[in-house]
Structure 1
Amino acid sequence: MILIADSGSSKTDWRGIDQKGNVTQFRGVGFNPYYQSPEEMATELSDEFLLNLKEEVLSIYYYGAGCSSDINKRSVSQALQHIFRKANIMVDHDLLAAARATCGHEAGIACILGTGSNSCDYDGYDIINSRPSPGFVLGDEGGGSYVGKKFLQDFIHDEMPSNIRQETMSYFNLDIQSIQENVYKKPFPGRYLASFCRFITEHVSDPYCYMLYYNAFRDFFKKHVMKYPHFEKKKVSFVGSVAYYNSDILRKAANDFGISVNLILESPIAGLTLYHKNEK
């Protein structure tokens, strides 16, 4: 059996493909080796779905947030090997997952807009160029943590419309102390910041919420896509919930820069499943 994982900081999509091509699937917690040790990840991996497959899995293709460096790849591999002792394990960046899922074997620019953000220039086989992705403090333009951070800044400084502020207080029971505690003291602050995007998307008919996304997407295009050579001639595809659930705004921001948007997928897992089934 082949096991495929697409892991972000918030969730992991798993697909198992058996010898007959039958597919099983499961969604679990997310992982990020920047914030978790191999032991912590191995504990989280001890889920019934995965434990039931541990004797059958012979190959694992794991694509994950934070898996760009060799040391982080080794950390994830160690965690997986703890459960899947028979498996051959490949760990790579979630950017490669986005590229393989949306472009297959064709060239293009692949982007991630989920909790965080990232992008790459893909030649149909490999990533040939990518932009820095320094995380939610210094980057993540267009991602959920970036949008959520701006939203909370406006809440703290009373710079959002009064109707949205009142609904925010009612919906989240927010105050400055709870925000600071979640951002500075609790684990996974990026995930916390991105959690406000569901509310923002539900209120996107309000010009304030619309512009939060529109301006964030413009910042993403300027910092990422427009830095690639001949970007205006290339198809640009996206994976991630922020891109998927706000696709109309994303396409509008792209069009204003003369950028051609191709696919927008909520998750790359279906595209990865097809890619690896064809690679067998």
Structure 2
Amino acid sequence: MILIADSGGSKTDWRLIDNSGAVNQANAPGFNPYYQPIDDLKKSVQELLLPKINEEVNKIFFYGAGVSSVKNQLTIKSAFLEFFPGAHIEIGWDLLAAARALCGHEPGIACIMGTGSNSCLYDGSKITGNVANLGWILADEGSGANIGRKFLVDYLREVMPENLRNQFRERYPLSREEFLEKVYQQERPSAFLASFTKFIFQHLKEPYCYQLIYNSFAEFYENNVMKYDNYKNLKVHFTGSISFYFSDVLRQVANDKGITVKNILEGPIAGLTLYHKKDIN
């Protein structure tokens, strides 16, 4: 049996491929080793995966945010070996998952735009370039966390239109102190901030909301895509909930900047499942 995981800031999509090629699935909270203890991942494996496994697991492909460092890769691999001591384990960053699912074997620029954001230059087989990812506090332009942070700042400072503020207050009847506690003291603040994008999407016809999304995407293109040589002659692809649900705005900004956007997928897991079916012996 093969296990495949695509782990982002908000959720982890699992696919289990048995020896006959049948596919099962499981969903778990997101996991990022920079922000969360490894016990969070172990708990997901024990409670959500093990009950679905009835064959020997011989290969595991884990793609996730925050796994580019050797230290984090070894931490994750050690956790899996506790449950599957005989398995071949491959840890890849979320960008490799995006590139394989979006570009296949063709060169292009693969981007992630969900709770967090990132991008890479892909030559059809491997990643050859990457603009430094600095996380949601310093950068992550165009991500749900980045958009949500800007939105919350404008809400708390009473910058946004009053009618929009009133509607948001009805949805989130929290005080300033309660908002700050959720951001600075509770777990998964990036996911909390990204949750505001649902409200923004529902009010996208409001000029404030549209301009917020447009400007955030413009920042992403300028600070990521346009940093790659020859970007105008390459196809740009996206995966992630923000790019998927705000795809019309994303394509409009690209068009305004002379960038060609091709595939936009909500998540890469289906493409990864097809990619790794070849690994079944």
TM-score, normalization: structure 1?
A: 0.97
Matching residue of 1:105: 105
Q: 38-47 or 73-82, which moves further after superposition?
A: 38-47
SS at match of 1:105: coil
In the alignment, the residues of structure 2 paired with residue 119 and residue 147 of structure 1 have an alpha-carbon distance, to the nearest angstrom, of 17
Matching residue of 2:36: 36
- Contact 1:240-1:266 within 8 A present in 2 as well: yes
Q: 42-51 or 86-95, which moves further after superposition?
A: 42-51
In the alignment, the residues of structure 1 paired with residue 63 and residue 95 of structure 2 have an alpha-carbon distance, to the nearest angstrom, of 8
SS at match of 1:174: coil
Instruction: State yes or no: 1:187 paired with 2:187.
Output: yes
Matched AA of 2:196 = F
Stretches (4+) displaced over 4 A: none
Matching residue of 2:162: 162
Give identity over the alignment, percent: 50
Matched AA of 2:166 = Q
Instruction: State yes or no: 1:152 paired with 2:152.
Output: yes
Unaligned runs of 5+ in 2: none
Matching residue of 2:178: 178
Matched AA of 1:202 = Q
Deviation at 1:18, TM superposition (A): 1.6
Matching residue of 1:125: 125
Deviation at 1:197, TM superposition (A): 0.8
- Contact 1:54-1:84 within 8 A present in 2 as well: no
Instruction: State yes or no: 1:76 paired with 2:102.
Output: no
Instruction: Show CA shifts across 1:47-96 (max 9, x none).
Output: 24334317521100100010111111111112222222232111110000
Instruction: Show CA shifts across 1:189-211 (max 9, x none).
Output: 11111111111111111111111
In the alignment, the residues of structure 1 paired with residue 101 and residue 251 of structure 2 have an alpha-carbon distance, to the nearest angstrom, of 19
How do residues 230-249 of structure 1 correspond to structure 2 at under 5 angstroms? 230-249=230-249
Residue correspondences, number: 280
Distance 1:142 1:54, change over 3 A: farther
Unaligned runs of 5+ in 1: none
In the alignment, the residues of structure 1 paired with residue 278 and residue 55 of structure 2 have an alpha-carbon distance, to the nearest angstrom, of 24
In the alignment, the residues of structure 2 paired with residue 54 and residue 148 of structure 1 have an alpha-carbon distance, to the nearest angstrom, of 41
Matched AA of 1:7 = S
SS at match of 1:46: helix
Matching residue of 1:8: 8
Matching residue of 1:254: 254
SS at match of 2:137: coil
Deviation at 1:175, TM superposition (A): 2.2
RMSD between aligned residues:
1.3
